[in-house]
Amino acid sequence: MTRPVPPRSPGADYPAMGVRRFGRVNWLGLRTLATREVMRFMAVWQQTIFAPLMTAALFVLIFALAMGQGRGQVMGLPYLVFLGPGILMMTVIQNAFANTSSSITAAKVQGNIVDTLMPPLSAGELLAGYLAGSVARAGLVAAVIGTGMVLLTGTGIAHPGWTLVFVALAALLLGGLGILAGILAQKFDQMAAISNFIITPLSFLSGTFYSVQALPEPFRTLSHWNPVFYLIDGARYGVTGVSDAPVWRGLLIGTSCAAVVLWLAWRWLKTGYRMKP
């Protein structure tokens, strides 16, 4: 005759309330959030992927074919070759920022931000999930534009490793800035103001269409205070082997700025700052 097994007390084999039940990292939740961020922009690829590519093509047509006819070399490069990396990085910057900022702002405006705040995801997991969408979107756009640039100019990539590093760094930095902007903005008008008056000037006034060495003072010096300049200049070095500033300086400044922005984004996500709808 077997002895009866005494009943277990409720919750005896489970962690206490508030204790994570799935290890140090919630991989399932992180993968779910990252997949949601990728599928969100892929569901409307005509707006998120095709439209930026058309904009980049228009910039090439206007600056290279119309305004660049008969123009001399820039930094020892044909103008179209010089222009390509700037157009690529400008598109990467705008798309990386738009992905995280629009995701958080839309969730706050529509009132479903609770779907992100309630799941058992830490601030680091939320940050990584949002950034995954930005990196994926920026990488996809960069791959398509980079392929078209190589076919159009007939030149290869001088330093593929440096190119990938600066594209990834730009995606992380601007994705982090997008998180900060999405947290600060309470409606789409505020987000549009941040994009139009901060992000767009930073990307346009950073050597995208010109060499900063051609600028008069004090604008040349001011350009070197713009962290986006180093991202574009580093990508130009990766593609062409030519840059305005030392590439290691650009890597150091870009990495430092990305670290500060991502730490602040993590801090705001951890404290829930302005995250309620």
Instruction: Convert the pLDDT of each residue in 52-83 to its tens digit.
Output: 888 888 888 887 666 655 667 788 888 888 88
Q: What is the pLDDT of residue 205?
A: 82
Give CA–CA dist 92/172, Å, rounded: 10
Q: What is the pLDDT of residue 1?
A: 47
Give the pTM. Answer: 0.88
Looking at residue 29, its amino acid is G
Domain residue ranges in the chain: 27-63+78-270
Confidence class for position 150, pLDDT limits 50, 70, 90 = confident
Highest mean pLDDT among 179-183, 190-194, 269-273: 179-183
Confidence class for position 43, pLDDT limits 50, 70, 90 = very high
